[in-house]
Amino acid sequence: MMSFASVSGHEDIKLRLQENLSSGRIGHAYIFEGEDATGRDALAEAFAAALLCEKGGKEACGNCRTCAQVAGGNCLDLIYVTEDPEKKKKTGIIGVKEVRGTLVDQASVRPFAARYKVFLMKDAQNMTTEAQNALLKTLEEPPEYVIIILVCDDADHLLPTVRSRAEIVEVGALSEAAIRKALVREGLADPEKAAMCAALAAGDLGAAEALASSENFDRLNHEVCSALRNMEQMSIRRVHDLLFLLKDHKEMPTSSCASCGCGTGTFCCLRRRGMSEASRWRTSTATSAAARRRTTT
């Protein structure tokens, strides 16, 4: 079961949500906004689990009956709103049928066992306009026991009328320190390797974990670092060999480069750095050669 303690980083957000829990000042709707792999889904699920926990503390206890049901995926008071599972062709779109059938109609039914009935929708930016309008009535006049949690990459993809009726939780990229700590805690890397993976991942814990687990990462890192240290002594052929080595590397922990989002793979920034160094080296070599020719003449 997801808990705040298991979520890496975002201490300010966790503190804010836990203060809401301890004070009882719970909003009826929340929008967790942030890029994928920032921890937004984990934070939303940890918050939902804490809301439903029978002990009613700042954190889900993990021991009560409701926590066990949440962990097992069979808690009747935690309802995930998703694309219609019976669709033959999956599009990722959440339509008015799903919102009405799973959320709006169910909101009138009181919780079975917990204090709240929590509706959690991931990828809420995929709701159609009609679906968002169907949601508005419940957002405007929610039963006192209903809490709606929407998770999306950008709240601006939602209607202004939806945004204005929810508390927005902005989930930014993880810090390098948080990623380093997570990799070491998970036993995926020693502190030195964890620091390297965190720097390359640019706030994406999933990418950092994939890098740390990669069998080829250590070899590629050694090749690149060695080459960049000795760039001025390298032959053009060796530079080309290095660039082709990186070009042919097909492991992609994420769908795009963790640092620049260019879509060419995690090591694209290393490739660009290598190309830049190679270009600088060629320019320097050509300038030195020209200078020597001028001297001799």
> pLDDT in tens for each of the 297 residues of the chain?
788 988 888 899 999 999 999 999 999 999 999 988 788 999 999 999 999 999 989 999 999 999 999 999 999 999 999 988 777 677 889 999 999 999 999 999 999 999 999 999 999 999 999 999 999 999 999 999 999 999 999 999 999 999 999 999 999 888 888 888 888 888 888 888 888 888 877 777 777 888 888 777 777 667 667 766 666 676 666 666 666 655 555 444 443 343 444 443 444 444 444 444 444 444 554 555 555 555 555
Pick the CATH number of 4-170 from 1.10.10.10, 3.40.50.620, 3.40.50.1010, 3.40.50.300: 3.40.50.300
CB 159 within 8 A of CB 119: no
Q: Where are the alpha helices (DSSP H) in 94-175?
A: 96-98, 129-140, 160-163
Domain ranges, ordered by start, for the chain = 4-170, 176-296
Encoded tokens for 77 = 């008071």
Q: What is the pLDDT of residues 133-165, one digit of tens each?
A: 999 999 999 999 999 999 999 999 999 999 999
> Residue 254 is which amino acid?
T
Whole-number pLDDT of residue 262: 44
Distance between start and end Cα atoms, the chain: 77
Beta bridge partners of 149: 30, 120
- How many Cβ atoms are within 10 Å of 75's Cβ, its own excluded? 22
Interatomic CA distance for residues 145 and 106, integer angstroms: 12
Structural tokens at position 64? 């009560």
Candidates 178, 152, 182, 251; CA nearest to 211 is 251
Report if pTM > 0.85: no
In sequence order, what are the residues at sequence separation of 6 or more whose Cβ sits closer than 8 angstroms to the Cβ of residue 185?
none
